[in-house]
Amino acid sequence: MLPFAPAQLPEGLRDPHVLEAMDRVPRAEFVPQHLLGDAQRDVALPIGHGQTISQPLVVAWMTAALHVGPGDRVLEIGTGSGYQTAVLAALGAEIWTIEVVPALARAARERLEKLGLADRVHFRVGDGRHGWPGKRNFHGVLCAAAPATLPPALLDALADGGRLVIPIGTDDAQVLRSYQRVGDAILEETLLPVRFVPLISAEPSA
């Protein structure tokens, strides 16, 4: 069961395939044991290491805004718990996902393997703002943490027609934005105000 009403999404983003994928992915598998009672609430939750699992409504919004489907190549920056990765995998996309915190990357891989969703997922530990070394022409790039300014490498990773969905800003001044490459042009759209953890280059100190 979805933890939000589909009507909360703009009409143009009520993609039935996205909603079905989210309905298939049990969020309880991705939250810490002591927060299982909150798994079906439409709120962000802490997952350790200063990181969070995103609010389900925001995951739906970002996934729908990406406009990807079966066989599409997606670069994900910030694997985190693996919840967003699992939703993209349930859509049938092939995903290259980067996480800066090794412990989170290992746990996310284990969860996706347990759910049978890891076959089309490539995992990497590293700094996501530089993209995936040697890989470009992605149909979609999704960033699950907020840089203060747009990393150029993420735009460069897009194929023609591809979209980048990313929160940008600091603290309470973040907005979710979409960028689409159309030939040599980049089309930009502001989607909604959000609050994400910052995009970092190294694992935070304990």
What percent of the chain shows pLDDT beyond 90? 93
Residue 57: per-residue pLDDT: 96
> Which residue among 54, 81, 178, 205 is the active-site one?
54
Tell me the pairing of strands 174-182 and 158-168.
antiparallel
**pTM, to two decimals:** 0.95
Instruction: Reply yes or no on whether the pLDDT at 171 is more than 90.
Output: no
- Condensed to tens digits (0 to 9), the pLDDT of residues 94-132 reads 999 999 999 999 999 999 999 999 999 999 999 999 999
Is residue 54 among the annotated active site residues? yes
- Condensed to tens digits (0 to 9), the pLDDT of residues 36-49 reads 999 999 999 999 99
Domains of the chain with CATH codes: 6-194 (3.40.50.150)
Distance (Å, whole) CA 68 – CA 166: 15
